[in-house]
C-alpha cells in the first residue's frame, strides 16, 4: 500500500540528507570581520527564513547546458512543493553550509507542460531519463519514500537556469558568477554524461545509482513519451544508448 503524502513529507523533513558533498570553489575576498559575524548571528536569531523553511525536498542530479552539452554540472536541488503540479528549487554545488548558489529550477507536471505555448516548451527539459536511469537521487530517504517521490515526478519537466559555473563538477569553474545565465537541459541517454561525473558523485555520497535504476524498473509502465528527449541527440562525443521508458514525443523541443 502506498504511503500517504503526509507520511512522505514527514520523511522528507526529518530524514538526513545523507553524505556531505562539499563545494570545491573558493571565492576571492577578505575574511569576515567580527562585526559581520555578529550581524549574521543577529539576523539568524531575529529574522524570518520564510521560503527556506519549506525547502524540505532534497534532490541531486546533473545538467548539461543546452547550447553547450559538453558543459555539465552536478546540481543539488533544495525544493519547495508549491502544489501537486509545481515545485521550485534553489540549486547549489554541494550540500554543506559553504555550498555556492548556482541556479534555479522550476518543476511542472505534464498537465501544466501541455498547456504551455509551443515557443515556451523549448525551455523545459524532460525528467524520465533522470529518474529511470537512477541518476536523480534523494539522498537519505528510505527506499519506499524515494520510490514515492520519484513516481510523483514521472513525466514532469524542468526549466533550469545556471548563473554560476563552479568547479564542483566541470573542471576549475569560475571563482565568481560570470557571463550570461545558461539554460540547462537533462541527459536522456546512457553515455551522454561525461565519464566519471555520475560515478564521482556516487562515490562521494555513498550512492548506488545502478541499484536505483533496478529499483525503479516498475515505474517504466508509467512513462509517457516526452518532448525534448531528442533536443541534444547527436551532440555528445561518445556513443549513446536509449533506455526503456524514455521516448521522444514529436520532438519539436529544440
- 3-state class (DSSP) for residue 34: helix
Specify if 24 maps to a domain: no
Specify if 78 maps to a domain: yes
Specify if 254 maps to a domain: yes
Do 153 and 107 contact (CB within 8 A), yes or no? yes
Q: pTM of the full predicted structure?
A: 0.84
DSSP characters over 110-122: HHHHTTS-HHHHT
Taking alpha carbons only, the member of 88, 129, 153 closest to residue 213 is 129
Specify if 198 maps to a domain: yes
Number of Cβ atoms within 10 Å of the Cβ of 91? 27
Q: Give me the residues paired with residue 184 across strands.
A: 65, 160
pLDDT of residue 174: 87
pLDDT of residue 158: 98
pLDDT of residue 170: 54
- 3-state class (DSSP) for residue 240: coil
Angle of helix 143-153 relative to helix 5-14, nearest 10 degrees, comes to 120
pLDDT of residue 2: 39
Number of domains in the chain: 1
What are the phi and psi torsion angles at 92 (to 5°)? -130, 165
- 3-state class (DSSP) for residue 165: coil
Specify if 110 maps to a domain: yes
Kindly report, residue by residue over 186-237, the tens digit of the pLDDT.
999 999 999 999 999 999 999 999 999 999 999 999 999 999 999 999 999 9
Specify if 30 maps to a domain: no
Domain that includes residue 159, residue range: 49-254
Specify if 178 maps to a domain: yes
The alpha carbon of 146 is separated from its chain's Cα centroid by a whole number of angstroms, namely 14
Specify if 32 maps to a domain: no
pLDDT of residue 173: 84
DSSP characters over 172-205: T--SS--SS-EEE----SBT-SPTTHHHHHHHHH
Side-chain-side CA neighbours of 238 within 13 Å: the count stands at 11
Distance (Å, whole) CA 136 – CA 201: 11
Distance (Å, whole) CA 137 – CA 114: 26
Residue numbers in the chain where pLDDT is lower than 50: 1-16, 36-40, 42-44, 46-48
Amino acid at each position: 500500500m502506498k504511503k500517504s503524502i503526509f507520511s512522505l513529507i514527514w520523511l522528507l523533513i526529518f530524514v538526513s540528507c545523507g553524505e556531505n558533498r562539499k563545494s570545491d570553489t573558493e571565492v576571492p575576498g577578505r575574511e569576515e570581520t567580527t562585526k559581520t559575524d555578529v550581524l549574521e548571528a543577529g539576523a539568524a536569531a531575529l529574522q524570518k527564513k520564510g521560503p527556506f523553511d519549506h525547502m524540505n525536498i532534497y534532490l541531486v542530479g546533473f545538467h548539461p547546458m543546452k547550447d553547450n552539452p559538453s558543459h555539465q554540472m552536478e546540481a543539488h536541488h533544495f525544493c519547495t512543493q508549491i502544489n501537486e503540479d509545481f515545485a521550485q528549487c534553489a540549486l547549489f554545488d554541494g550540500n554543506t553550509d559553504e555550498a555556492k548558489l548556482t541556479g534555479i529550477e522550476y518543476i511542472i507536471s505534464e498537465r501544466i507542460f501541455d498547456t504551455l505555448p509551443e515557443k515556451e516548451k523549448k525551455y523545459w527539459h524532460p525528467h524520465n531519463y533522470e529518474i529511470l536511469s537512477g541518476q536523480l537521487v534523494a539522498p537519505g530517504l528510505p527506499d519506499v519514500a524515494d520510490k514515492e517521490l520519484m513516481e510523483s515526478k514521472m513525466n514532469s519537466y524542468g526549466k533550469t537556469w545556471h548563473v554560476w559555473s563552479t568547479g564542483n563538477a566541470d573542471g576549475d569553474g569560475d571563482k565568481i558568477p560570470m557571463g550570461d545565465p545558461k539554460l540547462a537541459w537533462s541527459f536522456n541517454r546512457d553515455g551522454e554524461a561525461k565519464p566519471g561525473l555520475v560515478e564521482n558523485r556516487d562515490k562521494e555520497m555513498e550512492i548506488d545509482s545502478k541499484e536505483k535504476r533496478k529499483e525503479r524498473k516498475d515505474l517504466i509502465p508509467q512513462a509517457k513519451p516526452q518532448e525534448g528527449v531528442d533536443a541534444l541527440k547527436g551532440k555528445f562525443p561518445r556513443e549513446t544508448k536509449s533506455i526503456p521508458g524514455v521516448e521522444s514525443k514529436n520532438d519539436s523541443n529544440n
